[in-house]
Amino acid sequence: TQTALRRRRELYSYREEQEKYTDYNLSRHKRGASGGGRWPCQRRSLYVKFRDLGWQSWIIAPDGYHAFFCEGECSFPIGNHVNATNHAIVQTLVHMYTPFKAPSPGCAPSKLSAQSVLYFDDDGNVVLKKFPKMIVTSCGCH
Amino acid sequence: AYYVDNGIGQTEKMHEMNSRDKRELQHEILTLLGLHQRPKPKSSTTKDSAPTFMLSLYNSITSDNGVVKDDSTFHTSHNVTVGDSVVQPIEGTDIIISFVNKAKKVPHLRHEKDRTFFFDFSDVTAKETVVGAELRLYKEKSKKWKKNHEFQIQVFMLRQGKDPEDKILDPLSNITVNANTEGWITFNMTRAAELWTRQPEANLGLFIKVLFVSKGREINPNKLGIVSYRGSEDKKPFMVGFFSSQELVYPQR
């Protein structure tokens, strides 16, 4: 009896695990355009507005900046419109055959550029500082 | 709040932040900017001389909305230097800071406020390397002398002498102008900035002398039209430091 109970528990948890993934895929599928569903990996617009954070008294420029972010799928076959590393292409193949072991490649920035900010410090000095790697200029599958 | 575009050319508010979210977002972005907390400057008008200069520099260095034209370092065709053998400090610079003159708060300087300057470099960390520095003085036309009379403006770094009261004048830079010269005059302060960044306690300020060349005697800088602490805010003297810095290291959180 104990063995049977244990076996049933294991089976139940295994099935629960499977359903979890299935749900995830279904929901992603269902969400479609708006939730990162079937869109290929791409750069999306994100504007960070310093002014709305109430920082006008010390940030002189800019009012805000286009930070952008990366979103979308990296799934087989990776179209050549998504700049993917060679390894990412191999990764999609492995993911296709063992989806629960090897993740699909990630959609992440492949090129970044700097943003400069002009601001007052506590002493009333003015600082013009360049912040590297703050703006996504392009995304890709990695 | 968090807005998204709804696909037909409008933006919709997706999520309104509560005050805790907003505070956390501010903290994240301040950390990103390498700041522990938001600065609270006593005066923050951009009409003063230094902010005006820095804003024009910012506009010339960056393309629209502050994006740096080249990811390596600032570079510009902006002629930031007038006169004196100042190195073109913009190339290879990551941070540019203007410094406000605080001589009136320094006991050994405040008795000669027309000739003395103190720029506080104590916030510049050893991680920053001085690429160049300049002192900017505004000179108005002087009606007291003939147009073509020449005057040499000499800038000295104050160094500690043997006893506490003793101060030594270490020549830094000098420029010869005419009585009717008008505008910003730039002096090379790179050596002083390097010393003050390395040894903040060695910063005892600057001292200027104006020499009537043909007569070989000193005159008061005010008489030549050099704007000092009493002048209008948009012509007050200030210093600019150009620094390259190591990659920002974000604190582990």
ipTM for this prediction: 0.84
Q: d(Cα B241, Cα A70) in Å, to the nearest integer?
A: 37
The answer to whether residues A68 and A41 touch, using CB atoms and an 8 Å cutoff, is: no
Contacts of A127 in chain B (CB under 8 A): 95-97
Q: Which of A117, A126, A132 sits opposite B33 (nearest CB)?
A: A117
Question: How far apart (Å, rounded) are the C-alpha atoms in residues A1 and B52?
Answer: 84
CB contact under 8 A, B41 and A53: no
Distance from CA of A112 to the nearest CA of B (A): 9
Q: Residues B234-248: what's their mean pLDDT?
A: 87
Which of A126, A131, A138 is the best mutation test for B, with the most CBs of B within 10 A?
A126
- Inspect the interface and report whether the beta carbons of A115 and B66 lie closer than 8 Å: yes
B6 residue type, one letter: N
The answer to whether residue A117 neighbours chain B at the CB level (below 8 Å) is yes
Token pair for A32: 């479609």
Interface contact A128-B50, CB threshold 8 A? no
Find the range with the poorest average confidence among A31-35, B24-28, B151-155: A31-35
**Cβ contact, residue pair A58, B41, below 8 Å:** yes
* Cβ pair A115:B120 closer than 8 A: no
A vs B, Cβ pairs < 8 A, gives: 122
Nearest to B39 among A45, A66, A122 (CB): A122
With contact defined as beta carbons under 8 Å apart, do B90 and B244 qualify?
Answer: no
What is the rounded CA–CA span in Å between residue B1 and residue A9?
45
Query: Quick one: tokens of B22?
Result: 């907003």
Q: Quick one: tokens of B100?
A: 């406000």
- DSSP symbol at B151: E
Among A55, A63, A123, A125, the strongest candidate for a mutation testing the B interface, having the largest count of B CBs within 10 A, is A125
Q: CA A141 to CA A138: how far, in whole Å?
A: 11
Does residue A67 belong to the interface with chain B, where contact is any CB pair within 8 Å?
no
Instruction: Supply B153's token pair.
Output: 């403006």
Cβ-defined contact of B54 to A60 (cutoff 8 Å): yes
**Which tokens is A1 given?**
């009896």
The H-assigned helical ranges of chain A are 2-31, 86-97
Quick one: pLDDT at residue B245? 83
- A120 and B51 within 8 Å at the Cβ level: the answer is yes
Q: How many angstroms away from the CA of A115 is the closest CA of chain B?
A: 5
**pLDDT at position B79, please?**
42
Burial class (CB in 10 A: 0-12, 13-18, 19+), B98: buried
**Which H helix or E strand runs over B169?**
strand B167-178
Retrieve residue B20's tokens.
């805790």
The answer to whether A58 contacts B38, with C-beta atoms less than 8 Å apart, is: yes
Give B184 or B46, the one with higher predicted confidence: B184
- C-alpha distances in Å from residue B243, one per residue of A49, A83, B77, B133, B193: 27, 36, 18, 9, 10
Residues in chain A: 142
CA distance A116 to B67: 6
Does residue A62 belong to the interface with chain B, where contact is any CB pair within 8 Å? yes
Instruction: Tell me the pLDDT of chain A (142 aa) as tens digits.
Output: 677 777 766 666 655 555 554 444 444 444 444 444 568 888 998 888 888 888 888 999 998 888 899 998 888 787 766 778 888 888 988 998 998 999 989 999 999 988 899 999 988 899 999 888 889 999 999 9
